[in-house]
Amino acid sequence: MSTPSDSAGGRVLRTLHGDLELPVFLPDATRGVVRGLDADDLRACGIGALVVNAFHLQSHPGMNTLRALDGLHAFMHWPAPIMTDSGGFQVLSLLAGSSKRGSITKKGVRLRLRDGGDCRLLTPEKCIRHQFMAGADVLVCLDYCTHPAAPHEEQRRSVDFTVLWAAACRQEFDRLVEATGRRPLVFAVVQGGNDASLRRECAERLLEIGFDGYGFGGWPVADGGRLVDMVQFVAELIPQEHPRWGLGIGKPGNLVRAAQCGYSVFDCTIPTRDARHRRLYVFRTPPESAAAQPDEFCDTVYMQDDRHRRDARPVDESCDCPCCRNYSRAYLHHLFQVWDPLALRLATMHNLRFYARLMGALR
Ligand SMILES: [Zn+2]
């Protein structure tokens, strides 16, 4: 199988909707939208690709609707690469709340989205079919995400099911490629919790099946916010020619550390969620200094602080985003005070531009 990235160090991810220079940060357009922003806004921030959650899209607008409307790219008016997340993490969150919500078996995940609602079976084949029908450029296999504190038997089961499902996903993927002549990329996710031997086994068995890229599954961050040791361990298990995806790694300092471990594809809700919570990222030192001082190069600014009320400076004087180019901290503070939707749009654009500039510097 050919690899999706340049053989010389894997610095480019080649997709059906264009090449992505690595490392790259993909904002979460979970339900088909980065809240409050349209495609032009995203481009103005230097965003080159998005992650959409296939699991949520099944509920709304529904896969048949998406197909009838010529797929995700046309629907979202987004001409660049789209990665679809299979939803393993969401499934874990739903099941963690209550066993009445469903169960996990060899066949896949049986889920009840609402109390008393119908049970739906999400099989690995269906999961890949949905992402393929949606027209995604990078598909992700269904995986069984566990909590790091889960007992050994559950971590064991998670690796066995993740590999079993990945094999089924790969088979279904190959069948769809053959039937349509369309060849997107397909990634698998390495599970195994904090158990090194399980992580190694999972990576080896997935590599044997063969995927374009590999993700770090489970919880990448320990209490206190530092990356867990497994993040580096898993990166070292994956040969360099394959892009490594650091699922859910999102604090700026952790992105730098993960990129130094070899991860090159990132997605996280942190910049967009923090923007909605009025928390904005600013560079303390030039972006180029991030690699040398991952704990020092940035700061957060809380826009609700009263000290911004008369501050005529932009959020970040070094930033070229539409918010910093055109508006003061005082105006953004005011927009948040009167709770105008423009505050969310400008703040989100600023944070995404910060992440795009950080990625640019790491490249
Ligand atoms: Zn800015």
DSSP sequence for 135-182: T-SEEE-------TTS-HHHHHHHHHHHHHHHHHHHHHHHHHHHHH--
pLDDT tens digits for range 95-129: 776 667 788 899 998 887 777 777 888 899 999 99
CA of 255 to the centre of ligand 1 (A): 19
Give CA–CA dist 12/5, Å, rounded. 5
Q: Kindly report the pTM of this predicted structure.
A: 0.94
CA of 45 to the centre of ligand 1 (A): 9
* pLDDT at residue 348 tops 90: yes
85 is catalytic: yes
DSSP state of 28: B
pLDDT tens digits for range 204-235: 999 999 999 999 999 999 888 899 999 999 99
* Residue indicated by tokens 């009838």: 68
CA of 36 to the centre of ligand 1 (A): 16
pLDDT tens digits for range 317-343: 999 999 999 999 999 999 999 999 999
Give CA–CA dist 272/42, Å, rounded. 12
CA of 315 to the centre of ligand 1 (A): 6
CA of 47 to the centre of ligand 1 (A): 14
The DSSP bridge pattern shows strands 265-268 and 24-27 to be parallel
pLDDT tens digits for range 162-209: 999 999 999 999 999 999 999 999 999 999 999 999 999 999 999 999
Confidence of residue 10 (pLDDT cuts 50, 70, 90): low
CA of 259 to the centre of ligand 1 (A): 23
CA of 313 to the centre of ligand 1 (A): 11
The one catalytic residue among 41, 85, 143, 316: 85
